[in-house]
Amino acid sequence: MKKKNMGSTFDSWLREEGIEREVTANAIERVRSRQDVLRSSGNVFADMGLQDAVELDTKARLGAALNHIMQKGQLTPAEIATTLGIDRHEISALRHFKLEGFSVERLRHFLGVLDGRAQGR
């Protein structure tokens, strides 16, 4: 016994039921009328109302830059750890964006050292 609509997509089911246009129009109207959709300020942490938003945003951007350099593969994790004077647990924390234990100044220092090393300075 074959069930009606078994294996069909949601869109094809809407067409089969003759309600595709109505459902689509209603969905578009709901999206357009939403009052709780806000344009981002550019800092997701500020958008969430966190008090230390600037610091968190700065750390995230520094962490992304550090990870970009580390992922280029020019230095092994051991070389990175030695160059920065940190252990493998801290390398892991950096790679996983667990930046709570790092100050902005320390992350900036790391970035300067790794960027210089990656560029052969």
Residues 57, 63, 68, 71, Cα dihedral to 10°: -150
pLDDT at residue 41, as a whole number = 87
CB 104 within 8 A of CB 63: no
pTM of the entire structure?
A: 0.65
Query: Domains, the chain, ranges and CATH?
Result: 8-37 (no CATH), 44-118 (1.10.260.40)
Nearest to 99 by CA among 64, 68, 75, 74: 64
pLDDT for 99: 93
d(CA 1, CA 13): 19
Per-residue confidence in pLDDT tens, the chain, 121 aa: 455 545 557 788 778 878 888 888 888 888 787 766 677 888 999 988 888 999 999 999 999 999 998 888 778 888 899 999 999 999 999 999 999 999 999 999 999 999 887 666 5
Predicted pLDDT of residue 12? 80
pLDDT at 59: 95
**Single-letter amino acid code for the residue at 76:** T
pLDDT of residue 20: 85
